[in-house]
Amino acid sequence: MRRALLFAIPVCVLALAAVGAAQGSPEAAKMKNPVASSAESVAAGKATFTKNCRFCHGADAKGNGPMAPKDTHPSDLTDAKWDRGSSDGEIFAVIRDGAGPKFDMKGYKSKMTETEMWNVVNYLRSVGTK
């Protein structure tokens, strides 16, 4: 009985963590996008996306990029389903911190400025489902 309990506790903790990760971050959900969505911001976001993200997510952001790591399935960023939260802050946090069960997507906090990341959020909003 004791062994079963010792096994069950970590399994429950991992399951709860997975559910939380799939639903997004409450802290990130509170973040407000400081970059107004404008033609300039969307164009800058598209340029940054093309430079950094299209290899895995595809040029059209549908998750069909030619260089996605083996056995991964990059998210379709144009559909209505956002596994890690759909607020601007949650999308920003995924870009900044990375995502995936094994963090197959590395974070871009050392490769992009915050403004560049917010521009990518604005670009993704422009190509996503309305």
Residue 109 structural domain: 2-127
Reported as a single tens digit per residue, the pLDDT across 24-66 is 789 999 999 999 999 999 999 999 999 999 999 999 999 999 9
pTM to 2 decimal places: 0.79
Alpha helix stretches (DSSP H) within 1-130: 2-23, 26-29, 39-52, 54-57, 88-97, 114-127
- Return phi, psi of residue 9, to 5°: -60, -55
Has residue 10 got a pLDDT over 80? no
CATH number at residue 23: 1.10.760.10
User: Cα–chain-centroid distance for residue 53?
Assistant: 11
**How many structural domains is the chain composed of?**
1
Helix, strand or coil, per DSSP, at residue 87: coil
Q: pLDDT tens-digit profile of 86-104? A: 899 999 999 999 987 778 8
**C-alpha distances out from residue 22 to 17, 37, 85, 110, Å:** 9, 26, 7, 24
